[in-house]
Amino acid sequence: MTAKNKNAAPNPLDMVDYNLSGLPYFQILIGSSILFVLGFFLYFPFVKKFEQGIHAALENVPGCKISYGSLNLEFFLPKVIISNVNVPSYCFKTSNDLYFEKINLNFTGMSFSPIGLSTSLATQIEKDKIKSYQSIGLGRQVFKIEDQSISFNTISKLVSLPLTIDGDLIIGALAQFQNNQVDEALIRIKSKNLMIPAQTVLILGIPELAIGNVSLKAELMNPTQVKLEELIIGDERSPIRANFRGMIYPVQGHIPSSRIDLKGELAISEELMADEKFALLKMFLSQFSQKDGFYQIKLGGTIGQPRTSSL
C-alpha cells in the first residue's frame, strides 16, 4: 500500500456536497403543484376545443357531410385517432359510401418550410395502407405522398371510372396550398401490371388487354396551367401503346371544361386491328399520319369534348 502524498492537490469529487438539505423543498413543492393544477385545467378545455374543431371541420366540408364514431387524443407520441369515419357516396360521386375503420393523425414535430406543425396521416382502404405527410403553417400548407401503392379496386371507390381496370398504381405527389388553394404540385404515377379485363363499354365489346407498364408525370405550374411531361402507356408487348405530352388548362370546379393541348402517338397491335369489333376504330385512325407504326395525333378541345387532328 502506498502512502498518501500530503502535498497532492485535493480531488474535486471529494469537495462535492451530496447533502440535499440545502434544496428549497417548499418552493419546489409549491411550484410543482401549481404546474399540475395549471396543466389539469388547461388540458381539458384544449381537448374539448380540439374535438369541437375537428367535428366542425368534418361537418362543414362543402357538399360533403362526413360523420365519425369517436375521436381520441393520445399525448404519448401525440396523435389523434378518429374511428368509424363515413364519407357519403355523393362526395366522390361513387355508388357506395367510403368507410374508414380508423384514421390516425400523428404530430411529428415542427416544420421549417412552412414554419408550423408537421403531421402525418395514416389510414387503410380495403387492403391498401395509405400514408401522407403534411406541413401546416400560417396560410400555407404542404402535402406529400411518398410512392404509395394503391389498387384500382381502391381507386374505384374514390373515383367513378368509365371502365373496369385491374392492377396497382404507385403514386408520389407533392403539393403546396396557399390560402386553402393548391398553387403548385408535382405528381408521379406508374404501374407495372395494369390490366383491362374483357368487358362491354357502351356497345363495344373489349377483349382482355394486358397493358402492363404505365407512367405519368405532371406538374401544376400555377392554378390554371398543368404541364403533362409524359403519359406513356404500354411497351413492346402491349396491345396498345401511347406516348403523349403537352399542356392542360384546368377550370376550377368543372374539370370537363378544362382545355387541352396535347401531342403524341398511338399504336394498336395487328391482332386488335384485325378484329371486326374494331372496324370503326381502324376507320377512325386512318385519318392520322403514321411514323414507325405509330399514328401521330394532336388532341385539342376540352377534356369533356376532345378534338383530334393529325400532326
Quick one: pLDDT at residue 37? 44
Taken in order 254, 256, 257, 262, the sign of the CA dihedral is positive
Quick one: pLDDT at residue 165? 93
Taking only the tens place, the pLDDT of each residue in 89-148 is 887 777 778 888 998 888 887 777 777 788 888 998 888 998 999 888 877 889 999 999
Q: In this structure, is residue 249 part of a structural domain?
A: yes
Quick one: pLDDT at residue 47? 57
Q: In this structure, is residue 12 part of a structural domain?
A: no
Q: What is the mean pLDDT of each run of 10 residues along the chain (311 residues)?
A: 51 47 48 48 55 70 80 77 87 79 85 80 88 84 91 85 91 86 90 93 84 96 92 94 96 86 95 86 91 95 92 85
Q: In this structure, is residue 144 part of a structural domain?
A: no
Q: In this structure, is residue 210 part of a structural domain?
A: yes
Taking only the tens place, the pLDDT of each residue in 205-217 is 888 999 999 999 9
**Domain of 209, in residue numbers:** 162-311
Q: In this structure, is residue 242 part of a structural domain?
A: yes
Q: In this structure, is residue 33 part of a structural domain?
A: no
pTM equals 0.75
Query: What is the total count of domains within the chain?
Result: 1
Q: In this structure, is residue 34 part of a structural domain?
A: no
For residues 210 and 197, the answer to whether their CB atoms sit within 8 Å is: no
For residue 179, which of 136, 238, 216 has the smallest C-alpha distance?
Answer: 136
Q: In this structure, is residue 77 part of a structural domain?
A: no
Quick one: pLDDT at residue 182? 83
